[in-house]
Amino acid sequence: MKEEALKIINEVLAQGRKSLVEYEAKQVLKSYGLPVPEEKLAKTVDEAIKYAEELGYPVVLKLMSPQILHKSDARVIALKIKDEEELKKKWEEIHENAKKYRPDAEILGVLVAPMLKPGREIIIGITEDPQFGHAIMFGLGGIFVEILKDVTFRIIPIEEKDAWAMIRNIKGYPILAGARGEEPADMKAIVDMMLKVSQLVDDLKDYLKEMDLNPVFVYNEGEGAMIVDARIILK
């Protein structure tokens, strides 16, 4: 786990970078058993078409550049691509948008990902406090974190009881527990993710500054969860 993650981190540092693109961040997370979609990095449009056929349409395209961390702002994401013809068109569009947003952006490739079914959105984040060290943040994603700031923190490492307490402490807990007749979310999957993130950060604390898994789609009880987007900043 640690060795595999460190290999990726050291390759990024050797390139003079402090931020991992989404593809690299997800490879680090995958090395610790965290749930990430089956995705592939395409260097050419022909590779992207090949990967899309392997994954099955509809797919998502995400342009990977160390200089473009906020992909939505730069409009370098294309969703619900249904066939080869649309993929070629979107491939050109996101590259043109990248040039307009950052003409000097280095493009590492385009991530070809399956179109995931929606779930309840959560966020798991990491910050480093100069006095107490790394802390893990948990909350509901989307509007709940952007406007309501409905999140809770614990110093790493955490135990299973801490993860359960964090989940129950947020105001939006009823949404996960199953409000208005909805089925409960897969809380065990959330706890498992938080414990794996805690282990990852405890192992790599000398390298990590910030990390955001946002959004994470959580499905109904017994159906698991999936990390949609990830960002890692190194020290």
Distance, CA of 85 to CA of 211 (rounded, Å):
36
Q: What's the topology of domain 120-234?
A: D-amino Acid Aminotransferase; Chain A, domain 1 (3.30.470)
122, amino acid identity: I
Cβ–Cβ contacts within 10 Å for residue 145, how many?
A: 22
Q: Measured between alpha carbons, how far apart are the two ends of the chain, in Å?
A: 20
159 pLDDT above the threshold of 80? yes
Look at residue 85 in the predicted model and tell me its pLDDT.
97
Map out the domains of the chain as residue ranges: 38-115, 120-234
What residues are paired with 124 via a beta bridge? 138, 213
User: Whole-model pTM?
Assistant: 0.91
Look at residue 227 in the predicted model and tell me its pLDDT.
97
> At the fourth CATH level, which superfamily is domain 38-115?
ATP-grasp fold, A domain (3.30.1490.20)
Q: For the chain, give the mean pLDDT.
A: 94
Map 53-109 to HEC letters: HHHCCCEEEEEEECCECCHHHHCCEEEEECCHHHHHHHHHHHHHHHHHHCCCCCCCE
Lowest-pLDDT choice from 23-37, 67-81, 86-100, 193-207: 67-81
Look at residue 2 in the predicted model and tell me its pLDDT.
87
pLDDT confidence tier of residue 56, bands split at 50, 70 and 90: very high
What residues are paired with 128 via a beta bridge? 134
